[in-house]
Structures are given as C-alpha cells and as structure tokens.
Structure 1
Amino acid sequence: MPALDDLAFFQQLARARSLTETARSLGLSLSAVSKRLKQLEARLGVTLVARTTRKLTLTPEGERYLARGALILEELAELESRLADTRSETLSGPLRINATFGFGRTHIAPLLSRFCHAHPELQSWLELTNFPVNLADQGFDIGIRVGEPPDSRLIARPLLKSRRVLCAAPDYVARMPALESPQALTRHECLVVQENGTDFPLWRFEPVGGGPVQAVKVGGRLSGNDAEVITRLALDGHGVMLRSWWDVHAHLQSGALTALLPGWQGVRADFIAVYEARRHVPARVRAFIDYLEQELPRRVPPLPESQVILV
C-alpha cells in the first residue's frame, strides 16, 4: 500500500533528520527524496517537516504522524514475524545491533559472525559507537550497554557480570608512591580515558564486602579517548588505570598487570542487552540475546574472589 510505503519513508527521514542522509540510506537522489516529501505533505494536507539549512525538524503534525505510524509499522512487522515463526524454525530478516567499540570488536563481532554462520538467512548490521544510541530513532533491534538502561520503555537482559579493576604494570608498582586508599590516587600518575563527555577522571570505588562508594578525582600526564591506547600505556609502566575486568583479565592472569588496593574494588560494570518493549519480540532478536547470554561468560572468566560481585 502507498500509505505504508509513505510511513516507512517518513520514519527513515525522521531518523536521519536530513534529506541528504535519507537519500544516501535509500539509494535515491536528493531531488527524489525532496519531491517525495512534498508529495506526502500534499497528500496529507499538512506540513510534516520544518526545513532549515542544516537539519530537519518535525512539526507537531510530523511528530504525530511519526508516532502513530511507527505503531502501525510495528504491528505489521510483528504480524509478519509471528507468521514467519509459525511457518519455520529458520531465523531470517534484519538484525541491527549497537555496541561500544571495545566490547563490540572483541566479543560481539565474533559472536555475531558465528551466529550468522548458523543462521544464513539473517541480514545483520553491527554499529559500534562510543555512546549508547536511541534504539527506536536509529532503528536498532538490540543495544549492548553497561549498567542500567536509561529508558524505562526498554527491556534489559543481563549478559555478563563485570567490575572496574584498578591495576598497573609491575614496573610502575615497584616505584609508585604508597597506595593505602582510593584517596591516595591523587599522588599517582593516573591514565585516564576521556570519552563521551563523562565524569572520567572521577573514579569510584567501594569496599570489598560492601560499604559507601568513594569517588576520587584523578589526573596524570597521559590521557586519551581510546581504551586500548590507555591499556598500552599502563602495560608500558606509565601509571595506574581503572579498566573493566573483561578488558584486562588476561593481562592480570599473565602478570603483565597487577591489581591494586585489595580492600577496595571498582564499581560494577555489568553488560546488558536492551530492546524495545513490544507484544511480540521477533524470534531472531530473542535467539541472538539467548546466544550472547550463553556464550559471553565462556569468553570472560569469572571475577576472582577479591572482586566478587555481591548481588
């Protein structure tokens, strides 16, 4: 139906907030996209988009058309997915996933590769970003995140328990100032990952066994926006870093890095899969999350006794 095609077109336009990006994603010319928008507005008799030189802003009518239209398209997708589920056990259709760069490269990408080998009728898209994206606006089925979901409309499934670990290379440990408590980190060279406008250089710790969290503002000569770079600097003995267990466990087990402050531990950094709440979640989404929940703990060893997560 032309109306459903128009709904899908406008949903794409609303996500991109740009005629140029919409044209690129749909494989159309800019003039074709502009013409189609004008035809849609003429058919409905309302202005859906306020155009500026840099971006598109939805009018109140556009917001209403997008919201109600998204429900219609979701109902249709759920109906088709439900019918496909009853027709065959084969997983098929699009599977769009968002994850962070480091964890996405190291774990999600290889697991997605294996999953797609097992289900060759899937069409997958993995997008890695330094920050969580809005699943609905960007058209993602699953987001892989750390911590609690910021949106109550999202369903969260736990995937992997983790925690920040304070560590340094033995070379730095041999010559570092005394470190009896988190507050003593102000006297240390701290290797800071600065990204996403977060409050990194504010490191948080809690006593092993429970107790109030202590936050310490740290600093040092060397910092960067890439975790792999910071890990390399720590391995070279430049200072102390606070990284997730999944990222450093191999270095700790080999002795290339040493865990510090045994009476304290960094705050939890558990990984979760989030997806939109809906009456019928496509089988491909459920199956991939089940697969991650099964396989991720096999790729990352459990935290040692001193870093046990208390639930």
Structure 2
Amino acid sequence: MLRDILRTTFYSIRNYIPTPIYLKLMYWRISGKALNIKNPKTYAEKLAYLKVYKTQGDLSRYVDKYRVRDYVKGKIGEKYLIPLIGVYENEEEIPWESLPSEYVLKCNHDTGSVVIKHTQDNLDREATKLHFKKALKTNLYWAGREYPYKSVVPSIICEKLLDDGSGEIKDYKILCFDGEPKYIVCDVGRFSNHRRNIYDLEWRNQGITTDHQQYDGYIEKPEKLDEMIVLAKKLSKGFIHVRVDFYFVNGKIYFGEMTFFPWAGNIWFTPDEWNYKLGELISLKEKE
C-alpha cells in the first residue's frame, strides 16, 4: 500500500523535478548506484550528460518514426524502409476496412505502443482505438528525459508486417560512436521470452548481461551483417552516439529506428567493466 502511494505521488510530481535530480533518482532506483553527471565515466553517466546539456542539438526528426523515413531514404535508399500503409493523426482516422489482412500499427513518438495484426487474428478495434487514444496523449520525454522526443508531434503509422516464419523476428541494434559502428545488440523473443546478446563486429558474443538475460542458445550471424554495418555507418555519421536498428527478414534488410539514448539511458552492464568500456567510446568533445 505504501509503495503504491509513493509511486502515485512520484508520478504526480515527476514533471516538476529538475532533470539532473530526476535522472539520478531513476538510475538509483533501477541500479542501486549513484550517477555522476558532472564528471561522467560510465555509459549511463555520459548519456545522462548528453541529456542534460543537449550537445547533439535538435534530434526530433530522427526519433520520429515517420519523419526519419525521409532521412533514411536520402542516406541509404528507400529500399531499406518497411513499406508504409498509412499515417493517421488519431485513432478515428484508421481505415479499418481498407487495411490488409496483416499489418503493424504503432505510434511515431513512443516505444511499446505496437499492435501486430496477423491474418488469423480477430483484432478488437475498439480496444485498439482506446489503446492508441491513450498512447497519443503520452510524451516519452517525461519518462526518461530523452529530449529528442519532447517536440515530436504524435501520430499513428501503419506498416507492412514483416514475417520470416519464426513467429518473432530478431532485432539487430548497432551501437555507433562518432559515426563508427562498434557493437551489435541482438534481441530475441521480444514479445515472449525476451533475451539479449551483445556481439562485436565479427559476431563474437561479448558475454554481457543487461536488463535482460543472455540468450543461451546459438544465434546465427545474419547473412548480410556486413551490409548492415555499412548502412549503420552512413546513418550515424555526424552523431556523438546513436543506436541504429535493423531487421533482417527473408534475405532483406529493413531499417527499424534510430535511438540516441539506448534503453532510455538507464542501463547497467555485467561485468561492470563494460559500463566503463562503452562509456569510453562516447566522446564528449566539448569537455576536451
């Protein structure tokens, strides 16, 4: 009961908490560790520094899942984009009767609002509309103080459903530093038994545990990994740090999204040395 009261109280006042204090509270709650923003050394600390001082400028167009499509098209070509079915300002604009039998609905401004429709699914349209009505009112900025999301105008996008027959396609998330890809985060079972491995560019498992346990089976190196790395290099050029996500389905690469504060910045790694190893890769140039 007390925990619920404290949680409710915290969420009622969190928008008024100064960003540095808020980030320290959130990191302590998640990891039990202090966060040094003024003299950052670890990966999480440097991401917090970038949040507070906004040294990468306006990034809203890159985190907007709709607007980023123009950037991707110009940098690497339209063929890497997931086919777009439609964009809607609100849930009432979704043209249910004209949608294909399979599709993905999601907001352009958040994470986790995804609704997947398979051919055999009997989608509850009213429940889905309520889901998106609520999602459109949220601003991801307040949850993790990821400033690029603050000014994104919310909408709903509908894309083709990617399906490789496995039930859940894998995510290949490439961590790039100053335009150079360094590591690949591979997520499996995101909607069932979420597991995560981190590899180097030669697809050697680094044995790192994050907020999700490692996958204990064998994950085959994607056939076009080298091409993904080249694409990530092009898309990340000019940014201090960004994670570029891809899918690889039926022999074809698809762009997923760009994230400037992976895991909202509230992440820790085991073994602990990786917090510093990855932190060293983030160059805060204005501090040098």
Question: TM-score category by the smaller chain?
Answer: under 0.3
**TM-score between both structures, scaled by the size of structure 2:** 0.21
Higher helix share: 1
When Rg is computed on C-alpha atoms for both structures, the one with the higher figure is 1
**TM-score between both structures, scaled by the size of structure 1:** 0.20
